[in-house]
């Protein structure tokens, strides 16, 4: 049998539960009313910050000029050599049987050490190196200087036509060469060759 005291406590608990439920409902209603107002504020702030498309384009063009102009007007010769292999073409073989991919030994003993040394030098210093016969060891090339197969691959397979005026070749050894292109002061290595066939006359 339930005592009067227990019944009283039960009634009090029920009232507390009802009040809590009402509080939750009121809170939810208030939150749901606030959300649209916040959205409206966001929309209003966006309208205040709106920039006309033609003005935005003009601002972007001015920013681009501010960044690019000083770089383009600066000769690379005062800068140190930087390089990467992100554009390296290492697929398949040349028609004369030479693999376009270098192996681990070639990378560790020939390619990487040479370019680590090059990166300690400026482009002016690179330009000053010459062979015993007086020819520059590292220099630019015209695309038409290259083997016909290399020209076709450069243009059609690798789609590097826009860099055809920036072709550069490093001499790594007696017949070993590193071919690529220079953008600003950065050399993108494209081909490593062992037999000096991409450009036979040196």
Handedness of CA 187, 189, 194, 199 (dihedral sign): negative
Among 3-7, 98-102, 122-126, 177-181, which stretch is predicted with the lowest mean pLDDT?
Answer: 3-7
Is the pTM value of this prediction over 0.75? no
Report d(CA 23, CA 80) in Å as an integer.
70
Find the DSSP H helices in 49-103. Answer: 53-72
Report d(CA 93, CA 139) in Å as an integer.
25
Mean pLDDT across the chain, nearest whole number?
81
DSSP letter assigned to residue 80: B
Handedness of CA 150, 171, 200, 145 (dihedral sign): positive
Q: Which of 171, 192, 186, 185 is nearest to 83 (CA)?
A: 186
Q: Which residue(s) pair with 187 in the sheet?
A: 83, 182
Whole-number pLDDT of residue 55:
72
14-26: b (≥16 Cβ within 10 Å) or e: eeeeeeeeeeeee
DSSP state string for 151-202: HHIIIIIS--GGGGGGEEEEE-SSS-EEEEEEETTEEEEEEEESSS-SS---
Handedness of CA 152, 156, 160, 164 (dihedral sign): positive
Say whether pLDDT at 36 is over 90.
Answer: no
Whole-number pLDDT of residue 133:
81
**Residue 86 near residue 188, CB atoms below 8 Å:** yes
**Residue 88 near residue 181, CB atoms below 8 Å:** no
Whole-number pLDDT of residue 22:
64
Q: How confident is the model at residue 81 (pLDDT cuts 50, 70, 90)?
A: very high
Say whether pLDDT at 113 is over 60.
Answer: yes
Q: How confident is the model at residue 180 (pLDDT cuts 50, 70, 90)?
A: very high
Report d(CA 162, CA 152) in Å as an integer.
14
Residue with the larger pLDDT of the pair 68 and 141? 141
Handedness of CA 191, 195, 201, 202 (dihedral sign): positive
Say whether pLDDT at 135 is over 70.
Answer: yes
What share of the chain in percent tops pLDDT 90?
59
For 57-67, the pLDDT digits (tens) are: 676 666 655 44
């Amino acid at each position: 049998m339930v005592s009067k005291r227990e019944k009283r406590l039960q009634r009090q608990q029920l009232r507390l539960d009802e009040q809590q439920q009402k509080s939750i409902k009121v809170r939810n209603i208030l939150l749901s009313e606030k959300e649209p107002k916040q959205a409206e504020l966001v929309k209003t702030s966006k309208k205040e910050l709106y920039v006309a498309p033609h003005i935005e384009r003009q601002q972007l063009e001015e920013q681009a000029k501010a960044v690019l102009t000083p770089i383009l007007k600066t000769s690379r010769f005062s800068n140190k050599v930087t390089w990467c292999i992100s554009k390296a073409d290492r697929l398949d073989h040349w028609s004369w049987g030479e693999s376009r991919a270098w192996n681990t030994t070639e990378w560790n003993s020939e390619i990487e050490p040479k370019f680590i040394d090059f990166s300690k030098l400026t482009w002016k210093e690179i330009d000053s190196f010459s062979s015993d016969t007086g020819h520059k060891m590292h220099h630019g090339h015209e695309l038409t200087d290259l083997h016909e197969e290399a020209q076709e691959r450069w243009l059609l397979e690798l789609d590097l036509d826009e860099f055809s005026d920036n072709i550069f070749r490093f001499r790594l050894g007696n017949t070993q060469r590193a071919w690529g292109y220079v953008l600003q002061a950065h050399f993108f290595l494209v081909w490593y060759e062992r037999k000096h066939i991409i450009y036979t006359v040196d």
